[in-house]
Copies of this chain bind each other. A is one copy, B any other.
Amino acid sequence: MSNCVLCKDELKPEEGQLIWRGDDCRIILVNDPDLPGFCRVIWNRHVAEMTDLTYGEREHLMNLVFVMEDAIRLVMHPDKVNIAALGNMVPHIHWHIIPRFKDDAFYPGSAWSPRIQKVPELVLSIRQKAAQELPKAILEQISRLY
């Protein structure tokens, strides 16, 4: 769709880094200063809801979501992983996979809840460094899938 930012498929360097691109979807390491390691998998074609996909497409996408969760746990050691497909702003299927820490800006709220605490810069920079290992970890997991 011409007015959909996810159909445009242009990733500005300040928004994040492309980790992997397949025929059906692409995986992004999101540049979120509050939540290092935040990843996103985006369905390439413009589809709004998971139940608009075929069973096979759905399974493929969820396999990728769980591969990303696995890699995030391995690399980031979060207190919890959050997984969400909302799409209210951009109704084009994309899943957020977010490592959450008890001392992060929004915990125990959602990543869309009001900010309730300030994370020390040192802690953030350690997590940002760990997040740089995510592309490799995700690619390794995907190579085992297919």
A residues with a Cβ closer than 8 A to B are 48-51, 58-59, 62, 66, 69-70, 73, 80-89, 91, 100, 107-110, 112-114
Interface centre among A59, A70, A80, A109 (most CB of B within 10 A): A80
In the bound complex, CA of A109 to CA of B110 (Å): 11
Residues of B within 8 Å of A86, CB to CB, are: 80, 82-84, 110
A3 nearest CB across to chain B (Å): 15
B107→A88 contact, CB < 8 A: yes
B108→A89 contact, CB < 8 A: yes
B51→A58 contact, CB < 8 A: no
Residues of B within 8 Å of A84, CB to CB, are: 82-86, 110
- 16 residue pairs bridging A and B, Cβ less than 8 Å apart: A50-B66, A50-B69, A50-B81, A51-B69, A51-B73, A58-B62, A80-B87, A82-B85, A82-B86, A83-B84, A83-B85, A84-B84, A86-B110, A88-B109, A109-B112, A113-B113
In the bound complex, CA of A109 to CA of B114 (Å): 11
**Nearest B-chain residue to A106, judged by Cβ:** B88
A49→B62 contact, CB < 8 A: no
Residues of B within 8 Å of A107, CB to CB, are: 88
Residues of B within 8 Å of A51, CB to CB, are: 66, 69-70, 73, 81
In the bound complex, CA of A49 to CA of B70 (Å): 10
